[in-house]
Every structure is written in structure tokens, then in C-alpha cells.
Amino acid sequence: LNVADGTMAGAMGSTGWDHARALVGGDIGLFDFDVGFTMAEDLTHMGLAVFGDALPAPGEQRLLIQYGPCTKDNLAWALDPQSSCVRPGCQNPWGGAPIAWTFKDGSEDPPGFEQATFSHMPRCEGQGPCAGSGAYLHLGLQLIQQNQIDYHLGGQQPWADYETAPSTRYFNLLITRGRYDGYSTDAQVQSALEAMFSNGIVTYVIAVGDGSDGPQATAQLQSMAQWGSGGANDYYDADSLDALEQTLLEIYESTPFDPCCAFEDCSFNTDEGPWETDSESTNETDSTEGTTETDSTETDSTESDSTESTSESGSTESDSTVGNDEIAGTEADDAVDIPLDEGCNCSSSEGARERRSGIWLGLALIALFRRRRR
């Protein structure tokens, strides 16, 4: 929630965190593009994770949303500073330190989500700009790596809500300012990204927030993008994502979808915000000022979306979604997983578990990075 390279608190809508949130949960997000017969969002199961400091153990990294269909509203709520702003600890989420956040369970009404969803924010300690979270990116990456393994195995059990198979495909979106030096080592980050790539999971790196264009940040962003793609990809700038959208479009176009299947229609799953909170302080005069700064891996940093003093990370499952870095991953199933006799009802047959025909699974990792107090 800082601007000016972390030296001052930013106005609503102007910070890197706000920018990362808009990428995965905004009115026009990364998956709001047409793939020919439907929107990419309808074909993607999206999840969200964040990472930040290493203390107290095991660290600030946390899975906020598991892979699931039509989770844009969940993502927007989980990363909304107002969701975690409750008096007396928080008066104005954009007012600068100190702020004592109250993390909430989204199953409570409001918002009353059916899918487990938790709010989270980077630490905001000290005076002036928020501080307190670190950028232990490798902890966020390890979290989403293990989550994908567990989720994939769980999807093969008879009680799973959504099936997975050897053909199920995933990808990650790592949203971050870039720098992790002083927290994670190159070897730790490289090992996690290359391990996921060797398992067929590409990590797309998105730079967000001021400070992401410095020489050290750009070097680390490029290294992460290369490690996460087997040397094939460069990192993407959040202010110019046409190239990333084209890359994602090519991925979806290469997937054998059956357009006759009854895919999700996420346009009917939109919950109008803002949601009620215990905070009554928003600064309307500042809402349109400033520039956006994002802590990556949604994801928050993530996001890491990871994912930002804490980061957020996630992986996308062909229904997919990022504090400073955000990672999102996706998973997709080939049409061969669908029995031939299910025809146009193949994804919504009564009495059967939901099947994924070409659905992608994505998890966003967002960084919750804020400067640590000295």
C-alpha cells in the first residue's frame, strides 16, 4: 500500500497492491478475453496465495483460495484492503502505518462465499509507510508447489468435487515487484520454479508497482521468468499485458475444448461490491490519484498473486487466477476425460462429479512485501 518506492502511503487505487488486485479480480481482469465460443474465465479454475515474511514460523505465506470456478469476486474480496480493515485496529486502509489488520473468513455473510476464501494484507507496522513483511519468495513458491501436488492427487479420489487426471494442466501467475534479495536466494527461487516447470507447470511473471523497473529488479524478474519457463519466456510488465494475453490466448486455442459442453458462465456469478465492513473510512478525494504499485506473487507478490511485503502466489487450473508477488497457475483436462455418452451435458451431468473438458487450473501468487522495520 506504498508508493514512491515505498517511502509513503499511497491513495486508494494508486498502489501496487491495488494494481495486483485489479489484475486478478478487477472488472476487466487477465482472463476476460474471448476464446471463440466463450470467455477464458469460464474455462479457468483460479486460486490465490500470498507470501511475505518468514517469521513467526512457518512464515506469512498462505493459501487464500483453492482452485475453483468463477472466483473473480472471491479474489477481489480477499485482496480488498477494506475487507481486512476493522476498527479500532484500522481506521483507513490507505492511511499509512500503523494498521492492525483483521483477516476474515469469506464464508461469513457478507460476503457469504460458498468456496473457502480468506482475506489477507501485508503487515503495516511502524509510522508513515507500511512496513513489516519480507519477500521470502521461495516460501510462497514451495507453498503453491505442494498445494498443486496435493490438489492433483486429491482430485483422483472418489469424493473430490472436481476430477483431475494425468492430462490436467496447470500454470502459475507470479505478480511481483521483482526483488527478493536479502530474503530468498537465487538458488532457492530457481529450484522451486524449475521443479514446477519440470512437472509441466509454466510460471508467467508479471512486474507490478514502482521499483519494478530498477536494474536489480528487472534482472531478477527476467531470471524468474526464464527459470519458470525453461528459458522460453521473458517477464511481462503489468502496464502492457497485450503480449501475455496473446500468449494465454494461444494456450487456450491449443487446448482441445468441446464447445458442446456446458461450461461455467461466470457472468452470472458476479456479486456486486463493495461488501459491508466495519471500517467507515475511505478517502474519496484520493481515490483517483497516484500510480499503481503492486507487490507481486498474488498473488501478493503473487500478486502473489503473488506475491509485496507479503507475497501471494497461486497456480491456475484451467479455471484459473497473485505482499509483492503473485503467482497464478492453471490446470486443464483434455477432452478424453469425458465419457462419449455425456454429449452436450458432459460438464454438468446430474449425479456425477464435475468433469473438466479442457479446463485450466490457475493459482495466483502475490507478494505481501513491505520493507522490514530496521
Q: Which of 356, 352, 350 is nearest to 338 (CA)?
A: 356
C-alpha cell at 264: 461455467
DSSP code of residue 336: G
- What is d(CA 82, CA 1) in angstroms, rounded to the nearest whole number? 12
| Cβ 132 vs Cβ 370: under 8 Å | yes
Please, which pLDDT band fits residue 200 given cuts at 50, 70 and 90?
very high
C-alpha cell at 173: 501467475
User: What is the percentage of the chain residues whose pLDDT exceeds 70?
Assistant: 74
Return the percent helix, strand and coil in the chain, to nearest 5. Answer: 25, 20, 55
Please, which pLDDT band fits residue 292 given cuts at 50, 70 and 90?
very low
329-365, pLDDT tens digit by residue?
444 333 333 333 344 445 443 444 454 445 778 888 8
Domain that holds residue 321: 2-369
Lowest mean pLDDT among 60-64, 95-99, 234-238, 253-257: 253-257
Residues paired with residue 361 on neighbouring β-strands, in sequence order: 45, 317
Before 56, cis peptide (omega within 30)?
yes
81 domain-assigned:
yes
DSSP code of residue 88: T
In angstroms, the Cα distances linking 342 to 96, 294, 334, 336 are 55, 44, 15, 12
Spacing of C-alpha 43 from chain mean position = 17
374 domain-assigned:
no
| Cβ 279 vs Cβ 86: under 8 Å | yes
Amino acid at 323: G
- What is d(CA 147, CA 199) in angstroms, rounded to the nearest whole number? 13
| Cβ 143 vs Cβ 184: under 8 Å | no
Q: What is the mean pLDDT of residues 237-258?
A: 84
Tally the domains of the chain.
1
Q: Which of 359, 357, 358, 361 is nearest to 316 (CA)?
A: 361
| Cβ 363 vs Cβ 147: under 8 Å | yes
Contacts with 39 (C-beta within 8 Å, 6 or more apart), sequence order: 31, 32, 33, 266, 267
102-161, pLDDT tens digit by residue?
999 999 989 999 999 999 999 999 999 999 898 999 999 999 999 999 999 999 999 999
Residues paired with residue 49 on neighbouring β-strands, in sequence order: 63
89 domain-assigned:
yes
Residues paired with residue 170 on neighbouring β-strands, in sequence order: 361
